[in-house]
Amino acid sequence: MRFDDRFLDEIKSRLRPSDVIGRTVKLRRQGREYVGLSPFNKEKSPSFYVNDEKGFYHDFSSGKHGDIISFLQETERLSFREAIERLASEAGVPLPSPDPKEAEAEQRRLGLGEWLEEAAKWFESQLRRPQGDGARAYLDKRGLPEAERARFRLGYAPASRTALKDHLVSKGAQPKALIEAGVLIEPEDGGAPYDRFRDRIIFPITDGRGRVVSFGGRALDPEARAKYLNGPESPLFHKGSTLYGLAEARKLLHTPSATGGGEDAALVVVEGYMDAIACQRAGIAAAAPLGTALTEEQMAALWRLHGEPTLCFDGDAAGQRAAHKAIDRALPLLKPGRSFRFALPVGGKDPDEVLREKGPAALKAQLAETRPLVEVLFERERAAADPLDTPERRTALKVALRKLAGLIADPDLSQAYREDLLARFEGLWPVSQPVNTRADAARAMRGERRGPRKPVPQGASMEGKAAARNLSVLLPPAVAAAAAAVLNDPALADEQLEAIDVQGFGDVALNEFARAFINLRLTLPSLDSAGMRRHLAERGFEQTLKAIFKAAALSDAPFLKAGLPAGEARALWSQLFGVLIRLAALERALQDVKSEIANNPNDFTEFYGLKSERDALRRDIGAGTVWEGTGSQTGDAYLH
């Protein structure tokens, strides 16, 4: 099988030499290069250099020099074909089939690329000629000096119908090839082909290696039907997988930090050609999609260069829609170390305007003010759910957040998003000092303070820290029994997941624990008892687990006994769970009625009715009649 240059370049464009070589050689950054000890000779001082921008390594101790392909051949004794197959698999590039037609197509693509390069040179020359006066005046107005026009290879397409066609045909091009390349249009009526771009400033569109694959044109005529016009899909150009300015962005990312790049450099995604150029002029690596929403293929190309690109779209409605669509497309693809950040335009100014009006420092400062994807996602959903003035609307927002977190394929990241989003949700209604247990309520009524808080485990999650702070007294044995049962058999709670998510286990001291349990049950449903406890302990609930089992041991809950049939255990657990939920509701109602009695001391009817029902439930739990469902009410009555 023959591997043509285009195929090899595609692999190399997707893999950084420092990443491939860094798996076997310990490298550290030194200016524009990486340096490490030679993998070919024993040495004490590093003489092995890797240059990502140029795509090669050089070993001064042995004189060996090459790219990632030759590195694998040298260090792992792979054949050329074996090295290519390994790297193609890592890069996600399918191996070419030994098809003569494909070889012919590759030759045709190479030919088209040569004509596009010739067209780019011709457009550049036209910008410098007298017919380019209007285009130069426009670029002067946009603050783009002549030297920068040359850097970005800007050009001009004259208003003539066949000027480019005549030039390329005179060089030997066939009109059919130029139509295929996208620079000529073939009329539907069979007339003579004519130039696609006329009276437009030309922006060459390149692939990741900097080769021209198409063009974009900005109309100078304000009456033109399309302000911006891109070339059509072609054998070289696929709009959904190409980003304007990506090759230049790669160079800037590998530039030392003194000029804006380096290890901590940002990669910014903006909306248009001029915004990408503005960022790059300021030393900021930037790229732009080509008039479409950011696609999954473009996201993959960005993540190959940077773990967290920054999306900076316009502040208008269209820009916000583009940002939201990017979030929805990105969620299933997110992984640890692979996400997006967001920079919002200040005062509605796009990067090009900021650069012209305030300079590079102001543009860098604006793009440095970023927000994580999870924050932008939460704010979007909260705004869509407003007003949150009813339990139904608040619950709908909570369900929506949980579902969005579930779209993330990576289970650990999905769980982390769920916890973060729900913590932000709870933060909409902050409580300064919650009353966590009935004992706390009694202390509060006596004017006593709660004892010192227990230390919070280091490394705990946000919910785990809150649980450790709240769990300062012994849990009621029945509440602890309900929680212990689902720890022993997580599937026991499956029919009541929504109720647990909303109500907890009937005692607010376990609310954070209940949320964490539900998160794990939904994102990692295969977890058994040991796995569930391990994950909860890792999230800071180790003390909570100990408190639950300590208090549960004081109960006579039959579903905690070994050997009980699963169906019977589930029925008894549901019975208790329903009673606990009702008991918690009665406690809350009694507190409300007490407040009302303070204003109307003569109205005790509702108070005594609620108190009587609460006391009856307490007696049922204490006497054990709740286990058989023979008490004053059954748990199912409260759940349904």
Q: Tens digit of pLDDT for each residue in 602-611? A: 556 666 667 7
Query: So what's the pLDDT on residue 308?
Result: 92
User: Which residues pair with residue 338 across a beta bridge?
Assistant: 335
C-alpha–C-alpha distance, residues 369 and 310, integer Å: 10
- Tell me if 195 sits within 8 A of 162, measured CB to CB: yes
Q: Tell me which residue range forms the domain holding 392.
A: 377-426
The answer as to whether 75 is a domain residue is yes
If one counts every other C-beta atom within 10 angstroms of the C-beta of residue 526, the result is 7
Asked if residue 185 and residue 216 are part of one domain, the reply reads: yes
Q: Share the mean pLDDT of the chain.
A: 82
The answer as to whether 124 is a domain residue is yes
Q: Looking at the predicted structure, is the pLDDT value of residue 585 above 50? A: yes
C-alpha–C-alpha distance, residues 623 and 107, integer Å: 88
Omega of the bond leading into 289 within 30 degrees of 0 (cis):
no
Question: Quick one: pLDDT band at residue 625, thresholds 50, 70, 90?
Answer: low
Query: So what's the pLDDT on residue 603?
Result: 54
CATH of the domain at 69: 3.90.580.10
> In whole angstroms, how large is the CA radius of gyration of the chain?
33
CATH of the domain at 160: 3.90.980.10
Per-residue pLDDT tens over the stretch 504-550: 787 778 888 888 888 888 777 778 888 888 888 888 888 889 888 88
The answer as to whether 433 is a domain residue is no
User: The tokens of 248 are what?
Assistant: 């230049």
Asked if residue 180 and residue 123 are part of one domain, the reply reads: yes
Query: So what's the pLDDT on residue 309?
Result: 95
Asked if residue 590 and residue 473 are part of one domain, the reply reads: yes
Query: So what's the pLDDT on residue 75?
Result: 84
Query: So what's the pLDDT on residue 360?
Result: 86
The answer as to whether 432 is a domain residue is no
Single residue among 204, 237, 270 that ends a domain in this structure: 237
Asked if residue 524 and residue 419 are part of one domain, the reply reads: no
Asked if residue 15 and residue 76 are part of one domain, the reply reads: yes
Question: Quick one: pLDDT band at residue 356, thresholds 50, 70, 90?
Answer: confident
User: Which residues pair with residue 217 across a beta bridge?
Assistant: 202, 229
- DSSP tag of 82: H
Q: Which residue has the higher pLDDT, 532 or 433?
A: 532
Q: Which of 72-76, 414-418, 427-431 has the lowest mean pLDDT?
A: 427-431
Residue with structure tokens 């940077």?
A: 306
Question: Quick one: pLDDT band at residue 82, thresholds 50, 70, 90?
Answer: confident
| Beta carbons within 8 Å of 399's beta carbon, 6+ residues apart | none
Of 14, 16, 9, 8, whose CA–CA distance to 33 is shortest? 16
C-alpha–C-alpha distance, residues 613 and 367, integer Å: 61
Residues 143-162, mean pLDDT to the nearest whole number: 94
Q: Looking at the predicted structure, is the pLDDT value of residue 467 above 70? A: no
User: The tokens of 352 are what?
Assistant: 């090009």
Query: So what's the pLDDT on residue 193?
Result: 96
Of 226, 202, 225, whose CA–CA distance to 214 is shortest? 202
Per-residue pLDDT tens over the stretch 272-290: 899 999 999 999 999 999 9
Print the SS3 string covering 300-332. Answer: HHHHHHCCCCEECCCCCHHHHHHHHHHHHHHHH
The answer as to whether 569 is a domain residue is yes
Asked if residue 190 and residue 106 are part of one domain, the reply reads: yes
Query: So what's the pLDDT on residue 441?
Result: 43
Q: Which of 24-38, 73-87, 169-183, 364-378 has the lowest mean pLDDT?
A: 73-87
- Tell me if 217 sits within 8 A of 229, measured CB to CB: yes
163-170 vs 100-128: helix axis angle to the nearest 10?
Answer: 120
The answer as to whether 339 is a domain residue is yes
Residues 247-271, mean pLDDT to the nearest whole number: 70
* DSSP letter for each residue of 256-309: -GGGT-STT--EEE-SSHHHHHHHHHTT-EEEB-SSSPPPHHHHHHHHHH-SSP
Asked if residue 196 and residue 81 are part of one domain, the reply reads: no
Question: Quick one: pLDDT band at residue 463, thresholds 50, 70, 90?
Answer: low
Q: Looking at the predicted structure, is the pLDDT value of residue 37 above 50? A: yes
Q: Which of 164-168, 299-303, 411-415, 623-627 has the lowest mean pLDDT?
A: 623-627
Q: Which of 34-43, 132-141, 342-351 has the lowest mean pLDDT?
A: 342-351
Amino acid found at 602: N
Residues 43-70, mean pLDDT to the nearest whole number: 89
Asked if residue 332 and residue 255 are part of one domain, the reply reads: yes
Asked if residue 504 and residue 456 are part of one domain, the reply reads: yes
- Dihedral sign for Cα atoms in the order 137, 143, 144, 146: positive
C-alpha–C-alpha distance, residues 318 and 323, integer Å: 9
Print the SS3 string covering 2-27. Answer: CCCHHHHHHHHHHCCHHHHHCCCCCC
Which H helix or E strand runs over 219? strand 212-219
Amino acid found at 138: Y
C-alpha–C-alpha distance, residues 554 and 127, integer Å: 87
Per-residue pLDDT tens over the stretch 208-226: 878 999 999 999 998 888 8
C-alpha–C-alpha distance, residues 459 and 79, integer Å: 47
- DSSP tag of 244: B
Q: Is 111 exposed, middle or buried, given 0-12, 13-18 or 19+ CB atoms closer than 10 A?
A: middle
Asked if residue 578 and residue 496 are part of one domain, the reply reads: yes
Query: So what's the pLDDT on residue 447?
Result: 38
| Beta carbons within 8 Å of 477's beta carbon, 6+ residues apart | 551, 552, 554, 555
- β-pairing, 194-195 vs 184-185, is antiparallel
- Contacts made by residues 100-106, CB under 8 angstroms, sequence distance 24+: 103/2, 103/4, 105/235, 106/4, 106/6
Q: Which of 26-30, 253-257, 360-364, 422-426 has the lowest mean pLDDT?
A: 253-257
Query: So what's the pLDDT on residue 616?
Result: 76
- Tell me if 266 sits within 8 A of 284, measured CB to CB: yes
Residue with structure tokens 């692939």?
A: 207
Query: So what's the pLDDT on residue 255?
Result: 62
Per-residue pLDDT tens over the stretch 389-406: 898 999 999 999 999 999
**Percent share of the chain, pLDDT over 70:** 83
Query: So what's the pLDDT on residue 444?
Result: 39
Q: Which residue has the higher pLDDT, 617 or 71?
A: 71
Stated pTM of the model: 0.59
Asked if residue 632 and residue 509 are part of one domain, the reply reads: yes
C-alpha–C-alpha distance, residues 48 and 64, integer Å: 9
What SS3 class is residue 439? helix
The answer as to whether 431 is a domain residue is no
Query: So what's the pLDDT on residue 347?
Result: 65
Of 194, 234, 199, 195, whose CA–CA distance to 217 is shortest? 199
Asked if residue 362 and residue 385 are part of one domain, the reply reads: no
Q: Which of 409-418, 451-460, 487-496 has the lowest mean pLDDT?
A: 451-460
Residues 107-129, mean pLDDT to the nearest whole number: 93
Query: So what's the pLDDT on residue 316?
Result: 72
Single residue among 237, 260, 294 that ends a domain in this structure: 237
Single residue among 347, 369, 391 that ends a domain in this structure: 369
Residues 4-11, mean pLDDT to the nearest whole number: 86
CB neighbour burial string for 583-597, b if at least 16 within 10 angstroms, e if fewer = bbebbebbeebeeee
Q: How many domains does the chain have?
A: 5
